[in-house]
Every structure is written in C-alpha cells, then in structure tokens.
A = this chain, B = another copy of it.
Amino acid sequence: MKKTPLALIALVAAVPALSQTPTDALTAQAERAAESDAVAWNFVEGLTTEVGPRQAGTEAEARGRDWAVKWLKANGLAHVTVEPYMMDTWVRGAEHAEVTAPFPQKMAIAALGGSASTGDQGIEAEVVYFPTYADLEAAPAGSLAGKIAFISHDMRRTQDGSGYGFAGPVRWTGAGLAASKGAIATVIRSVGTDNNRDPHTGGTAFPEGVAKTPAGALSNPDADQLERIFARGKPVRMKLVLTPQDLGQTASGNVVSEVVGRDPSLPPLLLACHLDSWDLGTGAIDNAAGCGIIAAAALNVAKAGQPLRTIRLLFAGAEETGLWGSKAYAAAHKGTPIAVGMESDFGADRIWRLDTTFSKTNPDLHKRLAYAVARFGVEPSTDEAHGGADINLARESGAALVDLQQDGTHYFDLHHTPDDTLDKIDPAALRQNVAVWTAVVGVLANEPGEIQPPAAAAE
C-alpha cells in the first residue's frame, strides 16, 4: 500500500478530466476488481465455513468477530478494533407445528425473532385465516380471543425489493396486531418468494402494553396447503410448540477498520455491512457477501495507491435483531463528520442502478460515478439514495449517501432461511459487485472537493 503504481497516477491525474473521458482512468481499478474475486469470495467462504451461522448476541457472533478481526489484520487493514456494546438476546428453541383438524399433518415452521414461548407442551387452538394484513386490521377488537391467527399475505418477487415493503409488515407487526385482538399465537406465511419448505425467520415486535405471544412463519408451500385446507370450509385447528428464550443482556460488538487516507482532516467514507446472521443459514448472502464486497473494494482502492480520504469499514453487529450495532456505532461516534455513507446488504446479485443524494447538487460528481460504473452495466438514476440500516451515523449527520442497488429478484428466495448458504452465490455476480464498488469508492475516496454541498444536506 506504500507504492504509487501506475494505476494511482492514472486515477489521480484523470480525476479533474473525468467528466469528459473517464474510461482510461478507471481501467486499472476495474481490471484489479475483476481479479479480486478471490478476496470477496474467500472472505465469504471462510466466514461461512469456519464460523457458520452468527446469531446476534451469541458466542457464534463473537466467533464471527474474532474471525473478521484476524482476516482484516491479515489483509492489511489499519486500526482494526472491536467496539463492544450490550444487547437483548433472543434464541430459538424447539419448533413444531401441525394441523390437528380436519386433516392432521405436520407443517414446517420457524419462530420469529421476539416470539414468546408456548412452553414445552405447546398450545392447540382453532385457527382464524386472514388472506391479507388488511383483513387482520379489519378484525374487531377481542375477536381473536383464544385463537391462533394465520396471516397469509403473499409476496411477489421484485427487482428493487419493493415486495418486502408490501409483505414485510405482516412479519414486523402482524403478531402484535393479532395479539392486541386477543390471539394467543400467530402464524404467518413466510415473507419470501420461494416455494421450498424452508420458512423465513426475522424479527417481530409487539406494541407497548401488548403481551408477547408465540409467533412463527410457515413456509410458502405450507401456507398454500393451509389455504387449501381452509377452502374445504371446516374448522381448522393447529398445535404449536415454539420454545425460544430471551437471554437478557449479552455482549456484542462492531468490528471497525480503516484504509487511512493521505489527508485525515477530510471527512472519511463510511462503508458498512453486518457480520451477524440469522441462525438458520450461514448468512452467506445476508450478509457475509456485503462485508466481503466492501472489504475487497477498499483493498482494491488501497492497492491503487493511498487514497486522499480515509475509508472506514463498519462490520456492524446485531443488525438482524434490532440494529443494535448500528445504534451503538452512531451513539459512540456522534458528531464525527462523514463524507459519504454506503452499505452493501442486499445479497450478492449484480448491481444494476446507481442512486446518490447529490445528483442535483453535485451533478458533475454524480456524472463521473455514472461513467465509472456504466461499463459494468449499471444505470444511473436521479432517485434519492437512502442508505441502509447500518449507516445511521452517516444519515443522521447529513452525509452524502450512495446506493449501489443490487438486483433483488431472487434475494427473498433465500433471505432469513436455512438456504442462505455459500452455494447460492454466483462468483461472477460477486465479482461485478466488487468491481462497481471499487470504481465508486475509488472516485469518492480521491475526491478533494465537497461531495455533498451544504445546501443539499439542508434540503
């Protein structure tokens, strides 16, 4: 990282002229990115193999942090540090669901994070079917007393992930809403787009004053089956055994590291991902891939020569169960100026669109980024970037945000399921992510001027 090879010279020399002829300047980086597949892949392969699942607040997440610290140091990152915090930790127990009437049969279920326990003996009750979240909303107060609610709200696959916004509330708040109307438990159709018998877990929250109830997700084929059973018009009963536990406060932590820039007085770039995963899979796409992508990109930029600005990597902890890591990082670094916040947390499929918060206020820079990524098939947009869950600090401080939008068409086939494993990642797609990130981070980390003019931040 001390040498100043041709690539850096080309990059720095070309920046002022990039708005006209960016192609040559970025060639070296792009080629490097294409070669760097092994870096991101080896990160993901190593973390998912040697640690496996990394549930927030558990010793498995701690092993993940240790592994990441070792990897970051071995790869030459600077200031590798664990920033600890305490969090509320929930862990899965036994889980079993069966229809007991009219057609007895088992169903595949996974408890939702935050679910209460049924106790070892389980509960058995009549089930009330709600085709959509709106149907549950329309149910009268008290109407679910003693019943199990089944919310079957379905989700279509979308490239931009908007289906998650449509169906997600069922998981996020459906159990709490049903509980507020008297339900003793809730089962939902998985918030997912596959038809495997692998339910999608994820967190659920109960409103203030509503006691937690057991809550689980059925796989899509099981939800289909339950709908067919309801279609026969007979009363439906289910037995549920879900025995998760709240462990109280346990230790977690963020792993931070840096590529130190030539001018430490300039606000740094903050690139984020999360190290924790749900417990069912090995968290390959959610989100080992994101950490591998941002780390590989930072290393590519560093290899091209020391960048002007510092690049800070945040491998956040405990994203899945309530953004504990992101909140702790924002609290610990409150007031630290950040130039640009970027996050990779939407799988490992190809990036197809570039959004920024400065397309109107700094159109030249936006245009240079657009040029830089066009060769990878990435289209620019003038949609406002929103950043992700782990860059709260950047968002709160009014930093510029850049979203490198990944194709989410297949993401919700795997999200939060046992199927989130290494074999689901296409190495060529992972490489494209690294290449695009390298190009964008290369430009931004060497940008001497204001990235997001104050007027834009104040808008």
On A, residues with C-beta under 8 Å from B are: 45, 48-53, 60, 99, 103-106, 108, 195-198, 220-221, 224-225, 228-229, 232, 281-282, 417-419, 421-424
Contact = CB atoms under 8 A, between A and B. Distances in A.
A144 B104 CA distance: 42
B105 A53 contact: yes
A279 to B, nearest CB: 8
Contact of A197 (B51, B195, B198): B198
Contacts of A419: 195-197, 221
Contact of A232 (B50, B99, B229, B418): B50
Nearest to A103: B50
Given A419-B197, A423-B195, A282 B225 contact: yes
Contacts of A228: 45, 49, 422
Nearest to A53: B105
A99 to B, nearest CB: 8
A421 B49 CA distance: 31
Contacts of A418: 108, 197
Nearest to A228: B49
A50 B233 CA distance: 12
A273 B195 CA distance: 26
A45 B224 CA distance: 11
A361 B284 CA distance: 58
Given A52-B104, A52-B225, 9 more contacts: A49-B228, A195-B419, A195-B424, A196-B198, A197-B198, A221-B419, A221-B423, A225-B421, A228-B422
Given A221-B423, A419-B221, A103 B197 contact: no
A105 B422 CA distance: 15
A38 to B, nearest CB: 15
A417 B196 CA distance: 10
Contact of A282 (B52, B105, B220): B105
B198 A106 contact: no
Contact of A422 (B224, B281, B422): B224
Given A51-B103, A224-B423, A421-B221, A197 B229 contact: no
Contacts of A60: 104-105
B225 A49 contact: yes
Contacts of A197: 198, 281, 417-419, 421
Nearest to A48: B225
Nearest to A226: B49
A52 B226 CA distance: 11
19 contacts: A49-B103, A49-B232, A51-B103, A52-B106, A53-B105, A53-B106, A60-B105, A105-B282, A108-B418, A195-B419, A195-B423, A195-B424, A197-B417, A197-B419, A220-B423, A221-B419, A224-B421, A225-B282, A225-B421
4 tightest A-B CB contacts, nearest first: A52-B105, A197-B418, A221-B421, A49-B228
Contact of A229 (B49, B108, B198): B49
A198 B195 contact: no
A281 to B, nearest CB: 7
